[in-house]
Amino acid sequence: MKYSLGTASCIQPVDSNNSVIFNNDRDILAVAPAEKNKLSSLLIEKNIETLAFSHLFPDGKGSCDEERITKLNGKEYCKARLFSADLCFASDASYIFYLQYLGNLKQAFSGSNIALRKMLPLTASQSNDENQLKFLFKNDIIYRYLQSVHGSPQFWYERLKDLFSGAFCLGNVKDWFARVEMQLRGSSHVHVPLWVDKAPKYKGKNMDEKTISEIIEFCDKYITTKFPSREEDAELHDIIKDVQTHSRNHSKSRLKFHKTTCRFDFPSAISRRTLISLPYLVENEAKVERVKIAKKTLRDMNIELNELEKEKILNWTNFDSLLAKHG
């Protein structure tokens, strides 16, 4: 069996002989008799989905190519199946890989048709010219049409250009370490500590005022937060408002102990500059009383911030007025 785009996929091997040899004949390959018949095309054959997955389509209806009142393209059909209330489609790994392979196949053929319509000027003599072919491969002209096919080299090259387009160096990075963590819903996030050249070193409570000032200046230079208005950046404004601000839709557990405030102490107090918090040693009764007063003040500020937050998005004026009131 020769390699071809129409037979290689995640759910079937390129060469069936390898599957038999490497698995020591433990897997049985059941092949339907097909003498003197032609292979069915995934893109042309009707009802091939219902025939291949009869356990998902017991009545033989509901496939992608079936006539509907509201027409669905390939991506819309995949979303409807995988996000359906009926989990039999989303829980079938073979069916998911089938949809992925079918989508990649459609994108590959669509891209190749576009490339053929553009008609790359190439004569028979040029196709035999080694230097000409090297030039075409070096400049990605041969497989540029695959940039929409997930997993292809051209697809990742486009993603790499998107990544580098917004990247700029904040300093000379000497070392780094990255740890990718996956949340329960499947979304990933990365923790990355960076060691930057000529960065001031934190030495704990034994630092002098000069070192503290250098650290604060360094942090304020490279770490900034801003909530732009809709006039400045409408897209970023909506993203921050939706996913980076305190939600008023508390669950019961978040209001379990405090009926008026969030038990995670949101919204948090903010500062116009970086602050270095050092351990506060409670050595006498006066300092104990001072800690109690500070906690009560923060608590009162948090209650007022929660009340203000119900009416509008908090701004610097709200924090400044509260600091002046409780300071």
Kindly report, residue by residue over 166-208, the tens digit of the pLDDT.
666 667 888 889 898 887 766 788 898 888 888 888 887 778 8
Query: CA Rg, the chain, in Å?
Result: 31
Close Cβ partners of 16 (under 8 Å, ≥ 6 residues apart): 1, 29
Neighbour tally for 202: CB within 10 Å:
10
In this prediction the pTM is 0.41
CA dist 109 and 74 (Å) reads 14
- Report, as an integer, the average pLDDT of 304-325: 74
- DSSP assignment letter at 196: E
């939706």: which residue's tokens? 242
What's the sign of the alpha-carbon dihedral 212, 217, 222, 226? positive
The model's confidence at residue 75, banded by pLDDT at 50, 70 and 90, is confident
**Mean pLDDT, all residues of the chain:** 75
Helices then strands, counting H and E runs in the chain, come out as 11, 4
pLDDT computed for residue 159 by the predictor = 82
Close Cβ partners of 181 (under 8 Å, ≥ 6 residues apart): 188, 189, 190, 191
CA dist 254 and 259 (Å) reads 9
